[in-house]
Amino acid sequence: MREACAIEVHNLTTTYGGAPVLWDIDFELPAGHIIGIIGPNGSGKTTLLKTIMGLLPASSGYVKIFDKDLEQIRHKISYVPQRESVDWDFPASVFDIVMMGRYRKNNLFKRTNKTDLEIVLQSIEKVGLTKYKDRQIAQLSGGQQQRVFIARALAQKADIYLMDEPFVGVDAATEHSILKLLKEMRDLGKTVLIIHHDLQTVSDYFDYLVLLNTRLIAKGTPQEVLTEENLTNAYGGQLTLLAKVANLIKVNQFPIREKDVDL
């Protein structure tokens, strides 16, 4: 049996000021997996996520989610923007921000109800921030702020999660606990799409990969995607990177992690 398709991107092109940021991207992503989007800086990873989410207009092509148009199924998708994209000095507590996950187009004028409250408290509990729920978000560490965003996404009770670099500025322990949470979500049948930049960890984290550099370079299981050819295609002739790529392939063939390789 063929796996259900969660996200279908068809011949998608997105431009910024005339120059294409994404060019003719075409893929189908299976449901119930943790999927990584990787590629060099400026390769259109964030643009791809924003276009899927309808935040940027596509110049051509379309996106279907579970075979439906975005507007029909928006409530099933949860978006986690980059942590740096907001001002954390905003006067609000952890609870206030996670509560935003319960906001909908048609309940903005209503009071929040008991179910909302329960879901929000559960979501905060899941990311381990119950102790800090009344703390102002400025007084949290980077990792805690990231977990606030994840709790907010959880509170949406979605089926698909689109996360933009959730592991940036997060310490190793938090990264581990976030990953555990994502795996639990996957086991419940949720689809998680994550933009990731750390090539060292991709094969451990993801079941499925999309390698991007304006065009789609490769997609599939980590073994299929992380070949020397694909990575050179994506990262080009950047000398320092070639060494990293070679190292990565080694890591991929022999699952021994060398965390301290830093280029």
199 in contact with other proteins (CB under 8 A)? no
Q: Does 59 bind other proteins (CB under 8 A)?
A: no
* Residue 46, amino acid: T
Out of 54, 61, 220, 222, name the contact with other proteins by CB under 8 A: 54
x-or-dash pattern for other proteins, window 1-40, by CB under 8 A?
A: ----------------x-----------------------
Query: For residues 216 and 196, what is the distance between their CA atoms, to the nearest angstrom?
Result: 16
Mark 88-117 with x for binding to other proteins (rule: CB under 8 A) and - for no binding.
-xxxxx--xx--x--xxx--xx--------
Residue 136 CB, nearest approach to other proteins (Å): 4
Tell me the residue type at 211: L
H, E, C per residue of 177-217: HHHHHHHHHHHCCCEEEEECCCCCCHHHHCCEEEEEECEEE
Nearer to other proteins, 2 or 131 (CB): 131
By CB under 8 A, residue 64 contacts other proteins: no
Q: Which of 8, 3, 1, 153 is nearest to 66 (CA)?
A: 8
Q: Which residues pair with 34 in a beta bridge?
A: 192
| E strand intervals along the chain | 5-16, 19-30, 34-38, 60-65, 77-80, 160-164, 191-195, 208-213, 215-220
Instruction: Give the residues lining the site for other proteins (CB under 8 A).
Output: 17, 50, 53-55, 71, 74-75, 77-79, 81, 85-87, 89-93, 96-97, 100, 103-105, 108-109, 128, 131, 136, 141, 143-144, 152, 156, 171, 173-174, 177
